[in-house]
Structure 1
Amino acid sequence: MDSEKQQELVELLVSLRRSGRQQSGLDPALIPPDNETAYRIAGAVEEKLGWQVAGWKIAATNQAMQKALRSNSPIYGRVYAPNVRTTPICVDVKSFCSPIPEVEFQACLGRDLPPRHKPYSSEEVAAAVASLHPGIELAECRFIHDEQFPPLSAILADGAGSGTIIYGPAIIDWREKNIAGQEVNLLCNNEKRRSGSAGKALGHPIKPLTWLANELSKTGIGMKAGQFVSTGTLTGMIRPKTGEIYEADYGPFGTVTLTFE
Structure 2
Amino acid sequence: MSTERTQLLDSLAADLLAATETLEPIAPLRDRVQGMDVNDAYRIQDTQLRAHVDAGRILAGRKVGLTSLAMQKQLGVDSPDFGFFFTDMVHHEDAQIAAGSFISPKVEPEFGFVLKEALTGPGVTREQAAAAIGEIYAAIEIIDSRIANWDIRLVDTVADNASCGAIAVGTKPLDVKVEDLGSVECSLLIDGEKQATGSGTDVMGDPVAPLAWLANVLGEQGVPLEAGQLILPGSFTGALPVIAGQSATADFGTLGSLSINFI
Q: Under a length normalisation based on structure 1, what TM-score does the superposition of the two structures give?
A: 0.90
Contact between 2:30 and 2:36, CA under 8 Å: does it hold in 1?
no
Q: Which one of the candidate residues 131, 135, 141 is aligned to 1:127?
A: 131
Q: Which residue of 1 aligns with 2:249?
A: 247
**Structure 1: gaps (5+ residues):** none
Go from structure 1 to structure 2 and tell me whether the alpha carbon gap of 1:150 and 1:122 turns closer, same or farther (over 3 Å shift).
closer
- Does 2:92 correspond to 1:89? no
Displacement of 1:72 after TM fit?
Answer: 2.3
The one-letter code matched in structure 2 to 1:35 is V
Go from structure 1 to structure 2 and tell me whether the alpha carbon gap of 1:201 and 1:36 turns closer, same or farther (over 3 Å shift).
same
CA deviation vs aligned residue, 1:164-211 (integer Å, no higher than 9, x gap)? 1211121235236x3211221111222111111112343332111111
Q: Which one of the candidate residues 4, 8, 12 is aligned to 1:9?
A: 12
Displacement of 1:229 after TM fit?
Answer: 1.1
How far, CA to CA, are the matches of 1:26 and 1:212 in structure 2? Answer: 24
Identity of aligned residues (%): 29
- Does 2:52 correspond to 1:49? yes
Q: Which residue of 1 aligns with 2:110?
A: 104
The one-letter code matched in structure 2 to 1:77 is G
Aligned to 2:164, what secondary structure does the other structure show? coil
- Does 2:119 correspond to 1:113? yes
Aligned to 1:41, what secondary structure does the other structure show? helix
Q: Give the root-mean-square deviation of aligned CA atoms.
A: 2.0
Q: Which residue of 2 aligns with 1:197?
A: 199
CA deviation vs aligned residue, 1:18-66 (integer Å, no higher than 9, x gap)? 3444234448334771101211221111112223221111111132111
Q: Which one of the candidate residues 79, 82, 86 is aligned to 2:85?
A: 79
Contact between 2:30 and 2:155, CA under 8 Å: does it hold in 1?
no
**Structure 2: gaps (5+ residues):** none
Go from structure 1 to structure 2 and tell me whether the alpha carbon gap of 1:32 and 1:239 turns closer, same or farther (over 3 Å shift).
farther
Displacement of 1:96 after TM fit?
Answer: 0.9
Q: Under a length normalisation based on structure 2, what TM-score does the superposition of the two structures give?
A: 0.89
Q: Which residue of 2 aligns with 1:219?
A: 221
Q: Which residue of 2 aligns with 1:166?
A: 168
How far, CA to CA, are the matches of 1:141 and 1:20 in structure 2? Answer: 10
Go from structure 1 to structure 2 and tell me whether the alpha carbon gap of 1:27 and 1:127 turns closer, same or farther (over 3 Å shift).
closer
How far, CA to CA, are the matches of 1:75 and 1:27 in structure 2? Answer: 16
